[in-house]
Amino acid sequence: MSEMLYCEGCGAILQTTDQTKAGFIPSSALETGNRICQRCFRIKHYNEVIPIQMDEDEFLEILHSIGQTDNFVVQIVDLFDIDGTLISGLPRFIGHNPFILVANKIDLFPKSVKYEKIKHWLRKYVNEHGLFPEEIFLISAEKNIGLKEVIHYLEKEKGNRDVFVVGATNVGKSSFINQVIQILKGKQSHIELTTSRYPGTTLNVVRIPFIDGKDIIDTPGIVNHKRFSEWVGPKTLKAILPNKTVKPKVYQLAGEQTLFWGGLARIDQVGKTRNNFVCYLANGISIHRTKRENADEIYQKHLGELLKPPTIEEAKQLPPFAKHDFRFTGRNKVDIVISGLGWVAVDGEPTNIEVYVPKGISVHLRDALI
């Protein structure tokens, strides 16, 4: 595009190159004279929001401006990648504005988990990260679990404030907003969504009329580059995002063994100990167990074939493995979390564990969640 064109809906600069960013319009639509971005088009004609993204730094600045006025904030996290999707800098930016934490994708957890236990764990975890939400909700946007409770809470507690919904990419923010629209439509038959700029910023937001003349506002998803989902190609992304209840896979390891999670991660039990490794990851990722001494060779020979995902093609786009060392003390069960991929719960004898993932992806230890 030679001259700069702006979306007639939200005012974003129109662009035809990146579907995930503000102002995207397919070039075919642009050629026929349309001046409305795909996001505004979907909102206008289908009352549906589609995700757009923004880098965390850029977004935190915008959050800051949200914090300057009186608002209510809903932060959505992905229960399957809590660490990678928690915006721990939130309080610094939203100031004294109240916020609630909505943890999505509870449908992925085994049916036997106790909601109260997960909530308790979450509260402790987020408190340790300096977050003190007014309330925590466990929901599934896709299976419509728990949404009514969130809306009911907002109706009661939001006071005379707009409600801002914030979250990292792929947490299910669009799915959440779209369910909210459906529920609100059931209550007020005609809801008209609008797009606008947040005052003083370049942020394009979607406004959904809520109650008492106040809105629920969708914001761009924040990109966290330490998560797997931001590094992999589309085929691998599809394989690593779980879409069904995750079946924990239990491995009893007897020393000096390796588990490959496809070709995406390698977990080594170092030393001659006995441990249980319970793996929580998308069912479509195959786990391959081997002797540690053979692991290098297997990886060299079989990446993209026996060890997949990724496909051979998509493996080439990933950075080389970097090693992360952990000490399991044997006292309490722990999870080793690979951001955006899953986690392994470890118990048994004290041991050292090495985890290999593409450089740049975050790996860390936490108290066991389940």
**If binding is defined by CB under 6 A, does position 340 make contact with ligand GDP?**
no
Site string for ligand GDP, 38-67 (x = CB under 6 A): -------------x----------------
Measured from the CB atom, is 75 or 97 closer to ligand GDP? 75
- Phi and psi of 115, rounded to 5°? -55, -40
Query: Of 141, 151, 208, 341, which lies in the binding site for ligand GDP, with binding defined by CB under 6 A?
Result: 141
- Phi and psi of 329, rounded to 5°? -80, -15
Query: Of 140, 236, 257, 258, which lies in the binding site for ligand GDP, with binding defined by CB under 6 A?
Result: 140
Site residues for ligand GDP, 209-228, by CB under 6 A, read 221
Cα separation, 207 vs 226, whole angstroms? 30
Q: Using the 8-state DSSP alphabet, how is residue 182 labeled?
A: H
**If binding is defined by CB under 6 A, does position 104 make contact with ligand GDP?**
yes
Measured from the CB atom, is 43 or 303 closer to ligand GDP? 43
Return the range that interacts with ligand GDP (CB under 6 A); candidates 124-132, 166-174, 248-256, 353-361: 166-174
In terms of Cα–Cα distance, which of 310, 370, 364, 303 is closest to 338? Answer: 364
Under 8 Å between Cβ of 356 and 323: yes
Q: Which of helix, strand or coil describes residue 107?
A: helix
Site residues for ligand GDP, 298-327, by CB under 6 A, read none
Query: Of 167, 220, 262, 342, which lies in the binding site for ligand GDP, with binding defined by CB under 6 A?
Result: 167
> Which runs of consecutive H residues, i.e. helices, occur in the chain?
27-31, 38-46, 56-67, 82-85, 90-94, 115-128, 147-157, 173-187, 234-240, 295-302, 312-315
**If binding is defined by CB under 6 A, does position 75 make contact with ligand GDP?**
no
Instruction: Write down the least CB distance from residue 307 to ligand GDP, Å.
Output: 24
> Which runs of consecutive H residues, i.e. helices, occur in 131-230?
147-157, 173-187
**If binding is defined by CB under 6 A, does position 172 make contact with ligand GDP?**
yes
Q: Please provide the distance, in angstroms rounded to a whole number, between the alpha carbons at the two ends of the chain.
A: 52
Count Cα atoms within 13 angstroms, Cβ side, for 370: 21
Measured from the CB atom, is 253 or 342 closer to ligand GDP? 342
Cα separation, 131 vs 122, whole angstroms? 11
Total residues interacting with ligand GDP, rule: CB under 6 A: 20
User: Which residue sits closest to ligand GDP, CB atoms considered?
Assistant: 172
Measured from the CB atom, is 143 or 333 closer to ligand GDP? 143
Query: Of 243, 276, 290, 311, which lies in the binding site for ligand GDP, with binding defined by CB under 6 A?
Result: 243
Query: Of 173, 227, 288, 324, which lies in the binding site for ligand GDP, with binding defined by CB under 6 A?
Result: 173
- Phi and psi of 347, rounded to 5°? -140, 180
Measured from the CB atom, is 221 or 342 closer to ligand GDP? 221
Under 8 Å between Cβ of 206 and 177: yes
In the complex, which residues of this chain contact ligand GDP (CB under 6 A)? 51, 104-105, 107-108, 140-143, 167, 169-175, 221, 241, 243
